[in-house]
Structure 1
Amino acid sequence: MEEDKKEGRSAAIIIYAFPSFILLGAIIAFVFPEPFVPLTEYINIFLTIIMFTMGLTLTLPDFQMVLKRPLPVLIGVIAQFVIMPFLAIVVAKIFNLNPALAVGLLMLGSVPGGTSSNVIAFLARGDVALSVTMTSVSTIVSPIMTPFLMLMLSGTETAVDGMGMAWTLVQTVLLPVIIGLVLRIFLSKWIDKILPVLPYLSIMGIGGVVFGAVAANAERLMTVGLIVFVAVIVHNIFGYILGYLTGRMFKMPETANRTMAIEIGTQSAGLASGMAGRFFSPEAALPGAVAAVVHNITGAVYVGLVRNRPLTKETKRKETIKVSS
């Protein structure tokens, strides 16, 4: 019981401290951009750090659910790669975003689930096993799905280097995750000792991506900052709503519905910002940079709204979590 309370406190610290750190750093990078602009040269390194730390938190049992309960995982991952990209297109048209911001929002909708989603699912009393598995599976298939979606949906105004994007995702996402997973398997006792530190390393990596993007676009943010902020919030909130309704439509238990909302609505914002900045333009990185703050704030609000709502007897069970997920 005491260990569970300690995990809960650690998870809460991560989810509430994360957006505060990113928001404060983004403000500083906006006001004093010069020291942060060079960070844009190290985007691949930051992305590798983010994904490597994620891989270190995974274990083989995290993937067993694919075999034990494949349907909710399959439904969730497909829904994520359908709902969020098409929702990005709709939101971009509604707000009449320019091509750079539109493709950045599409990139945000086309990347895998965010690493903070597992913590949000735990605090919201969702199905944590489903959350971890959906994040893992969406990350592994992202080198195929993300370039495919960008090629199919970006329109004729924006050229997309599909092969280059796929290869970059293999290098910065797939390989670091696999290497981290292998190290966790063979060096589990040592890795277990550093697990509490890993979320903070991931946060620093996301900070490196976001602060560089904000600094490189400090002047542009003066004119488009508000519209980007609103577009990202709308995209995120409707992702939660449609994700939850997806679970309800397939008659999943309440814990799974909550997780569907979180996993579909929460994207890997740091990855989106880094990839958009690398393959399109500094301005295209803005939706992902803004989402790094917004997704965690809305996640905290979501936890506050649903955590104390009753679960049915069938789904009211205790969930465990690796806080570092």
Structure 2
Amino acid sequence: MNDSALISIGLPVALAIIMFGLGLSLTLGDFARIARSPRAVVVALALQMLVLPSIAFALITVFDLEPLLAVGIMLLAASPGGTTANLLSHLFRGDVALNVTLTAINSVLAAVTIPLITNFAIDHFGAEGTLGLQVGKVVQVIAIVLVPVALGMLVRRRSAAFAARADRPVRVFSITVLAIVSVGAILGERDNLLDYLRDVGIVVAIFCLCSLTLGYAGARLFRLTRAQAIATSMEVGVHNTTVALTIALSVLDNTQVAIPSAVYSIVMYVLAGSFGYAITRSWPQEKAESPAHATV
């Protein structure tokens, strides 16, 4: 399995540019609103940290996966939403400020939760290896998410007119990046794709759909706005597979553990894109709601 330059270098650079574009749509008031009413953050974190690993564990049990693949599924479940979740939320008019906030919090918590959940899986399923704290993940998110977003917000503060003009080009660029990454991921793993899909394809697809649905339905159950529900859905359903792959291949040094994340990195673009399209098409009357300024 090769982590191609498109994924390891091109995607982080492109996402940093996209995060700058997202920053052009945000103000400090958006984050102040979330701080005043943190219910959306609490709901999303509870779903991601507590419910999602339980779903993964249940799927592993039902499908009776072998130990290393089971560890890979749990590692995937423990991986936080990344910059791609922010991108998809932006495309489908979600609450981007909520996504950026969740990504930052998740990334700090992941330094502890990823080792805890993965080491539990290693011990429970009788696999080998241990995993230490992933402090590097926090640094990665600061570089790819927070810094570009802050720069974009600074530009908006200096020139709101420029920020407004840049909105459409950023969305077009975002869609282009998604298409390139999806095609590149498929082509890069074309020799192994059928084997991977046979091993964990069904489990990974079900897990992805459950994650997206859980994020959206759970948010609506707790009476969050539709924009916040879209943001929560993408944050819970779109995992940072680059981190999961890096941990599996570099830290645990095991290709089989990486297989679930490799498959997920392909199917999540298709399923999350289709899911986002479906939920935004179903309620066109609410499309006019501004995600960046929706009320809690």
TM-score range, shorter chain: 0.7 to 0.9
Q: Name the structure 2 match of 1:114.
A: 82
Q: 1:152 to 1:54 in 2, by over 3 A?
A: farther
Indicate the SS of the match to 2:282.
Answer: coil
2:276 matched residue in structure 1 = 303
Contact 1:50–1:206 (8 Å) recurs in 2: no
Which of 44-53 and 154-163 deviates more? 44-53
Specify whether residues 64 and 226 from structure 1 end up closer, same or farther in structure 2 by C-alpha distance, changes over 3 A only.
Answer: farther
- Give, in whole Å, the separation in 2 of the partners of 1:124 and 1:103: 32
Between the aligned partners of 1:200 and 1:126, the Cα distance in structure 2 is 15
- Structure 1 position 176, deviation (Å): 4.8
Gap change, CA 1:140 and 1:122, over 3 Å in 2: same
Aligned residue number for residue 199 of structure 2: 227
1:59-208 equivalence runs, <5 A:
61=28, 63-156=31-124, 157-163=127-133, 166-174=134-142, 176-180=144-148, 184=152, 196=170, 199=174
Pair 38,242 (structure 1): closer, same or farther in 2 beyond 3 Å: closer
Q: Displacement of 1:300 after TM fit?
A: 2.1
Work out the CA distance in 1 between the residues paired with 2:63 and 2:50: 20
How far, CA to CA, are the matches of 2:14 and 2:110 in structure 1? 15
Instruction: Count residues with an aligned counterpart.
Output: 278
Q: Could you tell me which residue of structure 2 aligns to residue 275 of structure 1?
A: 247
**What do you get for the CA RMSD once the two structures are aligned?**
4.0
**Unpaired segments of 5 or more residues in structure 1?**
1-32
Assess if the C-alpha contact under 8 Å between 1:108 and 1:269 holds in 2. Answer: yes
Deviation larger for 275-284 or 120-129: 120-129
Identity %: 21
Q: Report SS of the residue matched to 1:251.
A: coil
Partner of 1:4: none
Distance 1:282 1:172, change over 3 A: farther
Matched with 2:228 is 256
CA deviations 1:260-290 (Å, max 9, x no partner) are: 3332122122322222222221222222222
The separation in 2 between residues aligned to 1:261 and 1:38, in whole angstroms, is 27
Match of 2:208 among 222, 236, 258: 236
Give TM-score, length-normalised by structure 1: 0.67
User: In 2 relative to 1, CA 46–107 (structure 1 residues): closer, same or farther, beyond 3 Å?
Assistant: farther
| Unpaired runs of at least 5, structure 2 | none
> Compared with structure 1, are the counterparts of its residues 310 and 212 closer, same or farther at alpha carbon in structure 2 (3 Å cutoff)?
closer
Match of 1:318 among 272, 289, 296: 289
Aligned to 1:27: none
Following TM superposition, by how much is the alpha carbon of 1:70 offset from its aligned partner in structure 2, in angstroms? 0.9
CA positional deviation for 1:293: 2.0
Q: For 1:300-323, what per-residue CA distance to the aligned partner results, in whole angstroms no more than 9, with x for missing partners?
A: 2213322232378xx6643257xx
